Amino acid sequence: MKKFTLFLSALLISVMSFGETATLTFEAQCAGAGTDDKGNAWVVTSDAEETQYDATKGIHYGSGSKAVSFLQVSTQAITSSVTKVVVNASGASRTAGKLTVTVGGVSLGSEVSITSTATEYTFEGNATGEIIVKLSQESATKALYVKSVAVTYGDDSGENPGENPGEDPGEEPGEDPGEDPGEEPGENPGEGGSDLWLLVTDASTLSVGDQVVIAAVEADAALSTNQKNNNRGQANVTKSANTLTINEEVQVLTLETGNKANTLALNTGSGYLYAASSSSNHLRTETTLSDNSSWVITISEGVASIIAQGENTHNVMQYNQQSSLFACYGSASQGAIALYKKASAEGVILAPTITGEVNFLDKTTVSITAEEGLKVYYTLDGTEPTNASTEYTAPFELTATTTVKAVAYDGDKASAVVEKTFTKMSILTCTEAVALCTATATTESYIVRGYVTEMIEAYNDKYKNITFWMADAQDGGQVLQAFRVKPVSDTDQEVKAGDYVEVVGTLVLYTKDGVSTPEINAGGSVKILEAAPTTAIDNVTVDQNITKFFENGQLVIIKNGVRYNAQGAVVK
Looking at per-residue pLDDT, the higher value among 225 and 445 belongs to 225
pLDDT mean over 65-77 = 78
Strand partners, 368: 354
Cα torsion through 525, 527, 533, 534, rounded to 10: 70
Q: How confident is the model at residue 477 (pLDDT cuts 50, 70, 90)?
A: very high
Q: What is the mean pLDDT of residues 214-222?
A: 92
What is the percent of the chain with per-residue pLDDT over 90, rounded to a whole number? 34
Backbone angles phi, psi at 424, to 5 degrees: -80, 120
Look at residue 184 in the predicted model and tell me its pLDDT: 38
Compute, in degrees rounded to 10, the torsion defined by CA atoms 440, 442, 448, 451: 10
DSSP string, 459-477: EETTTTEEEEEEESSTT--
In this predicted model, which residue has the larger pLDDT, 568 or 401?
Answer: 401
Same domain, 252 and 289: yes
Of 424, 452, 481, the one marking the end of a domain is: 424
Both 252 and 389 in one domain: the answer is no
Confidence at residue 140, expressed as pLDDT on a 0 to 100 scale: 54
Instruction: Specify the higher pLDDT residue, 499 or 550.
Output: 499
In which band, very low, low, confident or very high, does the pLDDT at 494 lie, cut at 50, 70 and 90?
A: very high
Q: Is the pLDDT of residue 462 over 90?
A: no
Q: Is 331 found in the same domain as 258? A: yes
* In a shared domain, residues 43 and 146: yes
Give the gyration radius of the chain's Cα atoms: 27
Q: Which of 350, 349, 316, 346 is nearest to 207 (CA)?
A: 350
Q: Is 188 within the bounds of a domain?
A: no
Q: Is residue 164 part of a domain?
A: no
Predicted confidence at residue 12, as pLDDT, reads 33
Confidence at residue 167, expressed as pLDDT on a 0 to 100 scale = 35
Residue 315 phi/psi, 5° resolution?
Answer: -125, 10
CATH code of residue 50: 2.60.120.260
Least confident of 69-78, 327-336, 429-438: 69-78
- My answer on whether 203 and 338 are in the same domain is yes
Domain range enclosing 318: 196-343
Q: Each residue of 136-179: pLDDT tens digit?
A: 887 655 788 888 888 888 744 433 333 333 333 333 333 333 33
Same-domain pairing of 306 and 370: no
DSSP line for 320-382: ETTTTEEEEESSS-SB-EEEEEEEE-TT-PPPPEEES-SEESS-EEEEEE--TT-EEEEESSS
Which residues does residue 543 pair with via DSSP β-bridges, in sequence order? none
Number of H helices, E strands in the chain: 1, 49
Q: What is the pLDDT of residue 188?
A: 43
Looking at the domain assignment, is residue 213 inside a domain?
yes
In a domain, 173, yes or no: no
For the chain, what is the domain count?
A: 5
The per-residue pLDDT for 371 is: 82
Beta strands in 173-251 (DSSP E): 196-199, 211-216, 221-227, 232-236, 238-240, 243-245
Distance CA 554, CA 532 (A): 13
Say yes or no: 513 and 537 in one domain: no
Within-domain flag for 70: yes
Q: E-strand spans in 261-302?
A: 264-267, 272-275, 283-286, 295-300
Question: What is the share, in percent, of the chain residues with pLDDT greater than 70?
Answer: 77
In 137-236, beta strands by DSSP E:
144-153, 196-199, 211-216, 221-227, 232-236
- d(CA 343, CA 333) in angstroms, rounded, equals 31
Instruction: Reduce the secondary structure of 525-562 to three states and give it as a string.
Output: EEEEECCCCCCCCCCCCCCCCEEEEEECCEEEEEECCE
pLDDT tens string 513-558: 889 999 998 888 999 988 655 444 444 443 445 666 656 556 667 6
3 state DSSP class of 491: helix
- Give pLDDT tens digits for 376-430: 999 999 999 999 999 999 999 999 889 999 999 999 888 878 888 888 877 889 9
Q: With beta carbons less than 8 A apart as the criterion, state whether 10 and 52 touch.
A: no
Higher-scoring residue by pLDDT: 239, 541: 239
Q: Is residue 271 part of a domain?
A: yes
Residues 40 and 149 in one domain: yes
